[in-house]
Each structure stands twice: as structure tokens, then as C-alpha cells.
Amino acid sequence: MSPVRRRSSSGLAVLVGLVLVMGAAGDQRAQAREDDEARCGEIPRLPPATTDWPRIRSEIRRDPFTEAIIAGMVSRMTLPEKVGQMTQAEIQSITPAEVRQYHIGSVLNGGGSWPNSDKHATPSAWLAFADAYWDAALAADGEVKIPIMWGIDAVHGNSNVFGATLFPHNIGLGAARDPCLVRRIARATAEQVRVTGQDWAFAPTLAVVRDDRWGRTYEGFSEDPAITRAYAAAYVAGLQNAGEGEDEDRSVRRLRGVLATAKHFIGDGGTAEGRDQGVNPSSEAVLREIHGQGYFGALGAGAQTVMISFSSWTNEQLNIHEGKVHGSRYLITDVLKGKMGFDGLVVSDWNGIGQVTGCSNFRCAQALNAGIDVFMVPAEWRQFIDNTIQLVQSGAVPMSRIDDAVTRILRVKLRAGLFGARRPSERRLAGDAGTLVHRE
């Protein structure tokens, strides 16, 4: 009997030790959460002005293993498959069968667009659409099976979905001066989006508004770039849940929320006379130090997608002739991807390439060569695919540009955990009406 008692005492000691260790770990996690909450409430002063665009160190960084996987996939894809990945169609204009046929990389639903045109569509109806697109993408012919993404304008809650709780627009959140609150709202929004099966939220808007006559002033957090920068980081962290989870190796961390979108790059809040989609006449220093601050915060927090602005950047007196940002290689490739080091994907706005001089909604070599990776062509996506293939075959767009775009798309999909993921209806929170309401 005594040996048994000794083993029992030993086991009890081990158990007590484990409890103490777990308790200490729990205390450490609780303290870490308290410290994090204290830090997230701060709105730091902006760093000193720079003479050039800063290199941003992202919370989510590359790793050689993943990059090798991506390169291998790109090398096995045909040109039509690559262009399909670069194409984003609206759900009212594309069927699952067409997603499969054309190797479509992403879909979106615009404002006022619902499954079966039913504004009261239930989460199960949304999920049925999401599953159909998902299954179709993975059933496409081709050596590489690539999952599809679905983007949605969840800009103050999942506002396109009937019954979802809405949150204040950005201007109201900015007045609160509370980045912690913004992060909580973004987390709640990400959970709402997961209920209906989307992977990608077109938020946050990072316009630093300089003229209140702009009709979209309410979309900006603040005229103060310091607030915009702090809020951008908090919102992206909340949407993507970057920094959470058991894996502390940030080089291989996968997102647990939904993809965030830093938009609209760049200067949409600074157009002359507040004209929507107008001309921003700022100097490059003002563009960087005022309108760039939100992007510095968002990219630092790990934002994986950036949407381009409808606005232009032109000032004859300062010898600035970039025109529409959708066609600006300097801003998209040289600044955003080059100097700032952004390695995620760049997406156009709704038919935005059609505003570039000499372009249409479905054909724009300048926008392709400028560095846009995903093209939001809601209805004319077939024409876009055909014309883009022709532009590559004619030499107007080099294959290296196409490969760069597809590399970025695949990188983002891998980081989002889409490869090997379950169908949208089988994922965490799918169909959970309580999460959609999100009341505490």
C-alpha cells in the first residue's frame, strides 16, 4: 500500500505544480491583456517628418518556405488562370459555373447587393452562395487548385446583411478618441462577416479630410493624421486579429479574422474644394505626412490589401502630373510597394481603371503596369480577362507584372489561411445569428 501512496503523493505534487504553472501563465496572459488595453488606448504623437516615404515593418512578414510554395504554384499556372486570379466580379454578374470556367480569384458584393437580390437574405442564404463559389473555384481545371475570396463593404458593421448590428460611421468613432473601442468594433465586425461566409472586408477608410464640403467626410476618422494613424492600426488589428493565437512566430502567423483593406490610397480626403473623386493638389511632402499616416499605421499592423483612390494627384505649379491614382506607377509601385515595402495585394475600386485617360472599364495597360493586382470589374469581367490576355500577348504588359500580381494574391490567400480551409458554411461562427447581432 505504501508504494501506491508514494505514487499518489508524487502525482498530487505534479498536479499541484501544473496548476501553479497554469495559474502563473494565466496571470501573465491577463497582465499582458491589461497592458495591451492600456497601450491601445493611446494616440501617440506623430514621429518627426521625413524627407522620403518610410519603410514600414509589418506585423506579418514573409518566410522563405511560403515564398517557395508560391513560386512553385505560379510556375504551373497558365496565363488565363493567372488573369482569372486578378479578376474580381460582382455576385450579381457571375455564376459559380463561370467562376470555375474562368478561374476567378475573387468576387464581391457591392452596396445593395444580396444573394438572390433578397435584402432580407438569411445567413444560410449568404453561406449557400459562399459555398457554391468556393466549391466551384476548387473544381476548376488546372494543376493548381486555388480558393476564392469574397469581399464585402463591411464599413460600420456588416451593414449589407439584414439584422446585423451597425456601428457608428468613422467620423463618430474619431470623436470618441478611443482606439481600444475601434479595435473592439473591428473585431465584432470581423465576426459578423464570418457569420455570412466572406473572407475580406473593404475597410477601414483612412481619408484625412481637409475640406468638409466633401460628401464623404463622414468616412474619415479625423482631420488629425495622428488619430487616423492610431485608429488605422487598431482597426486592422481588430479585423484581422493579428497578434492573437498561440503561434508567436510572426513569419508564419495566419490571420484568424478577415482581411482588412486600407483605403483609398492615397489623398482622397484632400481634393480641391472637397470634390469627390477630384484632384488632390498637395505637395509630395503633404501627401506623405498628412494623407500617408493612416497607411503607415495600417500596414504596420499587418494590413494585407490596399484599395486605390478614385482621386487624382496633380499640381502643375509643383510639376506633379500623376493624374488618376489608378494609373500612377510612381504611387503604387515605386512608393507603396517599393519604398514602403508593402507585399500584400493592391485592388482597384469599382470600375476605377475606366477613369484613367485612354482606358475603359475592362482594358487598361496603364493600370496593370502601374501595379494594381486585383481588378474590381463588377459586370464587364469577361471583357477584362480577354483584353488583359491580349495586352500580355502583345507585349504591352510584361508577364513579370502578371506574375508579381498573382504572387501577391497567392501570398495573401496563404496568409489568410484559405488554402486547406473548410467550406465557408463549416467555419467558425458560420450562420451564428447571435454573433451577427453582437450584443453584449
Q: What is the pLDDT of residues 279-306, one digit of tens each?
A: 999 999 999 999 999 999 999 999 999 9
Q: What is the pLDDT of residues 88-108, one digit of tens each?
A: 999 999 999 999 999 999 999
What CA–CA distance (Å, rounded) separates 218 from 31?
36
Q: What is the pLDDT of residues 193-226, one digit of tens each?
A: 999 999 999 999 999 999 999 999 999 999 999 9
Indicate the pLDDT class of residue 166, thresholds 50, 70 and 90. very high
pLDDT value of position 248: 40
CATH assignment of 64-437, given 3.20.20.300, 3.40.50.300, 3.40.50.150, 1.10.10.10? Answer: 3.20.20.300
What CA–CA distance (Å, rounded) separates 329 from 306?
15
Contact 242, 253 (CB under 8 A): yes
Q: What is the pLDDT of residues 45-69, one digit of tens each?
A: 999 999 999 999 999 999 999 999 9
Mean pLDDT, the chain, as a whole number? 91
Strand partners, 259: 200
What CA–CA distance (Å, rounded) separates 129 from 133?
6
Q: What is the pLDDT of residues 256-286, one digit of tens each?
A: 899 999 999 999 999 999 999 999 999 999 9
What CA–CA distance (Å, rounded) separates 163 from 362?
35
Q: What percent of the chain has pLDDT over 70?
A: 88
Collect all residues with Cβ–Cβ distance below 8 Å to 212 and sequence separation of at least 6. Answer: 274
Q: Is the peptide bond before 156 cis (omega within 30 degrees of 0)?
A: no
Residue 134: closest CA among 429, 413, 348:
413
Q: What percent of the chain has pLDDT over 90?
A: 84
pLDDT value of position 240: 96
Quick check: helix, strand or coil at residue 405? helix
Quick check: helix, strand or coil at residue 367? helix
Position with higher pLDDT, 27 vs 180: 180
Indicate the pLDDT class of residue 42, thresholds 50, 70 and 90. confident
Q: Count the Cβ atoms, other than its own, within 10 Å of residue 139.
A: 12
Q: Count the Cβ atoms, other than its own, within 10 Å of residue 435.
A: 19
Q: What is the pLDDT of residues 389-414, one digit of tens each?
A: 999 999 999 999 999 999 999 999 99
Per-domain residue ranges of the chain: 64-437
Q: What is the pLDDT of residues 314-339, one digit of tens each?
A: 999 999 999 999 999 999 999 999 99
What CA–CA distance (Å, rounded) separates 375 from 85?
9
**Does residue 436 carry a pLDDT above 60?**
yes
> One-letter amino acid identity for 227?
I
Q: What is the pLDDT of residues 341-385, one digit of tens each?
A: 999 999 999 999 999 999 999 999 999 999 999 999 999 999 999
Indicate the pLDDT class of residue 433, thresholds 50, 70 and 90. confident
Residue 88: closest CA among 71, 103, 106:
106
pLDDT value of position 90: 98
**Does residue 24 carry a pLDDT above 80?**
no
Collect all residues with Cβ–Cβ distance below 8 Å to 266 and sequence separation of at least 6. Answer: 287, 291, 292, 295, 309, 313, 325, 331
pLDDT value of position 363: 99
DSSP letter at 43? -
